[in-house]
Amino acid sequence: MKRGELDTIDKQILYHLQQDARGTSSSEIADVLGVSSSTIRTRIDKLERSGVIRGYHVDIDYDLAGFPLYTKIICTAPVPEREELAQAARAVDGVTAVREIMTGERNVYVNAIGTDHDDLNRIGEAIDSLGLQIVDEQLIRDEFVCPYSGFCTVDDSEL
């Protein structure tokens, strides 16, 4: 599958999976879209194989899970090393996500969790030792993920 080759059915499948991938069956999506469930399963397999669907992830309330401190560490990396340093940051214990930014000086964002300030200091030191320059840290109260509505052309109340 080439970049941008998603048709309306593919986009609607993505929209419904973003709503609740675990709790939404291919039969339910098929009913809304008016196609067979085998068509939906085949399309999902193709989206997975092509890398459009990279995985299925759980949304965790880190505070309830025992990690009350959730931070975004904003870093600067030399552009030629940005990808390598971002990948290396993923291996730091406590890091939950890394985002590479294409523009600007603040070009690597690292999300991390900890039980206390010592945890966050350890993570910051580990990130710094990789060669990422920390320019800011933000303590996050909460984060909410929502589906991209641009994939939906069907009223999701039908699902």
Domains, the chain, with CATH or none: 8-57 (1.10.10.10), 69-139 (3.30.70.920)
At which residue do the structure tokens 């930014």 appear? 101
The residues, any chain, with a CB within 8 Å of residue 145's CB and separated by 6 or more, are 59
Q: Over 50: is that where the pLDDT of 158 sits?
A: no
Q: Over 70: is that where the pLDDT of 4 sits?
A: no
| Cβ 101 vs Cβ 93: under 8 Å | no
Average pLDDT over residues 54-66: 89
Angle CA 6–12–18, to nearest 5: 105
Tokens in use for 45?
A: 């397999």
Q: What is the mean pLDDT of the chain?
A: 91
pLDDT at position 1, please?
A: 63
User: Distance between CA atoms of 32 and 120, rounded to whole angstroms?
Assistant: 45
E strand or H helix that includes residue 136? strand 133-139
Q: Over 60: is that where the pLDDT of 117 sits?
A: yes
User: Distance between CA atoms of 74 and 35, rounded to whole angstroms?
Assistant: 45
Q: Over 70: is that where the pLDDT of 56 sits?
A: yes
The residues, any chain, with a CB within 8 Å of residue 60's CB and separated by 6 or more, are none
Taking Cα atoms as reference points, which of 2, 32, 3 lies closest to residue 16?
Answer: 32
